[in-house]
Amino acid sequence: MINWDEVVGHQTVAARLKSMLSAGKIPHALLFAGPAGIGKSLAARVVSAGILCSSDQDKPCGQCHSCRLFSRNAHPDFSLLVPEGATIKIDQIRLLKSFAALTPAVSSGRVCLIDNAELMTVQAANSLLKLLEEPPPGFVFILVAGTGKPLLPTILSRCWKVQFHLLPAQVLEDALIQKGYAPEAAAVAARLSGGRMGKALNLLAPDGLALRNMAAQMLTVLQKDDMTAIWAETTRLAGLEAKDIIIVLEFFLYLLRDLLLIAGRYSEQLIYNIDLTRQLAGLVPFWPEKRSMAAMAAVKNTIRALEANANARLALEELLILLKDCPEEGE
């Protein structure tokens, strides 16, 4: 059953959308925008079900014939467009136009949800624009878009924008505990997720912390006076895909940040990797403030180089040597 209880956080946005549904005043085109993994697509599905819902009470009710069809992904008045491969293509928009020409079969209107709308080709976006300019009666478009690539200004100007934001760590932690996850695991995932429920759930999956643990091993290896171990670490990291190397380095930055907080005796509430607090405390003498700050700068430079398609092996070799030789206090 699909309902608003599934949407975590975003209370202000949810209240506004509920009010619009109750009043029957939904714009013909909505744009749900914000970072990935924060629940935009789920909220869009709930609103879609609410538009099609036949109840006079809270929408979606989850009980009416329309809601039951929607929950089974079998609603004839709902269309979902997602990228085919890397993009949403013009042929998909042409099929949408055929769907738009039909009359409602069950509900009083129809809805099309376009997920990852920013991945439309220019041709697809221009074709959609014609539908947005002259929408069929009772037809609602819901576009869901991330922050990586802008939509055409002409499409943006025809949509009522709903902005979604990253979730507070405590909100995520509480929601994860309600889902049945252990409190400590939920706390770690919520803090490392950066406010993204999707990422938090991935971190809680089996081996979800594998890349974080590789970053923690880097810290341990670097404190040893053993270049053989450092070269072995370079080989291990270089064997990952470029995107995973970047994720490991981002986790490494989080660990360095936690080391600074532990060294400064700040509140544990500020620490991300709370499950590693004892291990990190033992590394504090090797990572004084000056060394940690220099290391963070070096890691950020390496991430930028990898994002620009630098040779991963060479970039990692240079980074680990720099990290090994980062200046200590007084140097």
79 occurs within a structural domain: yes
Query: Are residues 48 and 176 both part of a single domain?
Result: no
Residue at a domain's end among 163, 197, 229? 163
Do 203 and 288 fall within a single domain? no
Same-domain pairing of 57 and 154: yes
How many Å separate Cα 158 from the centre of its chain? 25
Question: Quick one: pLDDT at residue 215?
Answer: 93
Q: Quick one: 197 exposed, middle or buried, by C-beta within 10 A (0-12, 13-18, 19+)?
A: buried
Q: How far apart are CA 134 and CA 256, in angstroms?
A: 54
User: Distance from first CA to last CA of the chain, Å, rounded?
Assistant: 62
- CATH number of the domain enclosing 306: 1.20.272
The C-alpha atoms of residue 327 and residue 288 are separated, in whole angstroms, by 9
Is the same domain home to 146 and 241?
no
Per-residue model confidence (pLDDT) at position 287: 85
Q: Is 331 within a domain?
A: no
* 316 within some domain: yes
Rounded CA-CA distance 11/25 in Å is 19
pLDDT given at position 148: 65
Domains held by the chain: number = 3
Backbone angles phi, psi at 81, to 5 degrees: -110, 125
Please check whether residue 292 lies inside any domain of the structure: yes
Q: Residue 193 sits in which domain range?
A: 168-208
> How many residues does the structure list for the chain?
331
216 and 133 within one domain: no
Q: Exposure of 183 by Cβ count < 10 A (0-12 exposed, 13-18 middle, 19+ buried)?
A: exposed
Q: Do residues 39 and 116 both lie within one domain?
A: yes
Residue 39 lies in a domain: yes
Let me know if residue 329 belongs to a domain: no
What is the CATH number for 118? 3.40.50.300
| Final residue belonging to a domain, choices 143, 178, 208 | 208
- What is the structure's pLDDT at 330? 41
State which amino acid sits at residue 220: T
Amino acid at 287: W
User: Under DSSP, is residue 78 helix (H, G, I), strand (E, B) or coil?
Assistant: strand
* Residue 100 and residue 40 share a domain: yes
- Domain co-membership, 84 together with 157: yes
Q: Are residues 16 and 145 in the same domain?
A: yes
| Tokens (6 digits) for 154 | 């002409």
- Contact partners, residue 22, CB within 8 Å, separation at least 6: 58, 59
What is the residue-level pLDDT of the chain in tens, covering all 331 positions?
A: 787 888 888 889 999 999 999 888 899 999 999 988 888 999 999 999 999 998 888 899 888 999 999 999 999 999 999 999 899 999 999 999 899 888 899 998 999 999 999 999 999 999 999 889 888 888 999 999 987 678 888 899 899 999 999 999 999 999 999 999 999 999 999 999 988 998 999 999 999 999 999 999 888 888 776 778 778 888 888 888 989 999 999 999 999 999 999 988 777 788 999 999 999 998 888 888 888 888 999 999 999 999 998 898 899 888 888 887 765 544 4
User: Do residues 149 and 197 share a domain?
Assistant: no
User: Are 85 and 141 contained in the same domain?
Assistant: yes
**Structural domain includes residue 174:** yes
* Contact present, 2 and 67 (Cβ < 8 Å): yes
Residues 6+ apart with CB under 8 A from 171: 8, 9
Domain boundary among 141, 176, 208: 208
Buried b (16+ CB within 10 A) or exposed e, 12-45: ebbeebbebbeeeebbbbbbbbbbebbbbbbbbb
Tell me if 285 is assigned to some domain.
yes
Give how far Cα 331 sits from Cα of 12, 38, 142, 158, 290, Å. Answer: 51, 44, 58, 59, 9
**pLDDT for the residue 331:** 43
In this structure, the answer to whether residues 78 and 184 fall within a common structural domain is: no
- HEC assignment per residue over 182-208: CHHHHHHHHHHCCCCHHHHHHHHCCCC
Q: What is the pLDDT of residue 30?
A: 94
Residue 229 amino acid letter = A
Structure tokens at 18: 């509920």
Distance CA(33)–CA(116), nearest Å, equals 10
